[in-house]
A = this chain, B = another copy of it.
Amino acid sequence: MRYELYYWPGIQGRGEFVRLALEDAGAAYVDVARERGNSAMTAMMDAKASATPPFAPPFLKAGKQVIGQTANILLYLGSRHGLAPKAEAGRLWLHQLQLTIADLVLEIHDTHHPLGPSLYYEDQRGPAKKRTIEFWKERVPKYLGYFESLVATRGGPYVTGRKITYVDLSLFQIVAGLRYAFPKRMQQFERNIPGLLALHDRVAARPNIEAYLASERRIAFNEDGIFRHYKVLDL
């Protein structure tokens, strides 16, 4: 089956967590907005026109099904493509981890948008500074400490132990994104997460991921996405 991925074309964003899974699995997919523009995406979000209209991108068309919410898409794809266990208990555990990553992603976004997504960063610089300080002081250690402890206590190199899952692909993205957005802060912090750094390197070295990262389908991080390099926040 050839999937259709719907996401904003100019950023990695939340769509990237889905792309990494599709690419690692070697699944056939078309990135619709990048190839054909946004109008199909907007049409599918119309409640009058669609049986299951997503609230927002990303969403995946898989045959007749339209599946939204990043973690939900990965829940659907994971066990179908060898990136998650098949049994329910293991799937729910992985899904729980992905939902925790989604919470972290939202907090990363809120370092530059603490007053909400409908205002520009430039209109919330003061609160952004304060949020960022608290984020690095309290939240990064809590979230990344948790995932580091999972790698350590499961025997590694991945969060469930020896077998890679889509959660590991997402953690690669978290490490890469934080290094882009907060190079100074991350350089100081990352000595605390050797397991996650090793995980990042292993994921990057996987043949399909390596090929993807070198391709034009992997667009660069920029200041429109989740991970933004605002120097004034990276003290």
**Contact present for A115 and B131 (CB under 8 Å):** yes
Distance A69 CA – B138 CA, assembled complex (angstroms):
20
Which of chain B's residues have a CB closer than 8 A to the CB of A53?
A: 150
**Contact present for B146 and A127 (CB under 8 Å):** no
Taking chain A's interface residues, is the majority helix, strand, or loop, or is none over half, making it mixed?
Answer: helix
A129-144 to B contact mask, C-beta < 8 Å, 1/0: 0110011011100010
Q: Is A47 an interface residue (CB 8 A)?
A: yes
**Contact present for B139 and A69 (CB under 8 Å):** no
Q: Is A173 an interface residue (CB 8 A)?
A: no
**Contact present for A100 and B131 (CB under 8 Å):** no
Enumerate A162-212 residues with CB–CB distance to B below 8 Å: none
Distance A187 CA – B135 CA, assembled complex (angstroms):
35
Copies of the protein in its oligomer: 2
Distance A130 CA – B56 CA, assembled complex (angstroms):
24
Enumerate A46-90 residues with CB–CB distance to B below 8 Å: 47-48, 52-56, 65, 67-69, 71-72, 75-76, 89
Q: Is A118 an interface residue (CB 8 A)?
A: yes
Q: Is A42 an interface residue (CB 8 A)?
A: no
Which of chain B's residues have a CB closer than 8 A to the CB of A103?
A: 106
Name the distance in Å between A138's Cβ and chain B's nearest Cβ.
4
Q: Which residue of B lies closest to A107 (CB)?
A: B116
**Contact present for A146 and B47 (CB under 8 Å):** yes
**Additional A-B contact list (10), CB under 8 Å, known A115-B134, A118-B138, A119-B134:** A52-B93, A55-B96, A56-B100, A69-B95, A107-B116, A114-B131, A115-B131, A116-B134, A118-B134, A127-B130
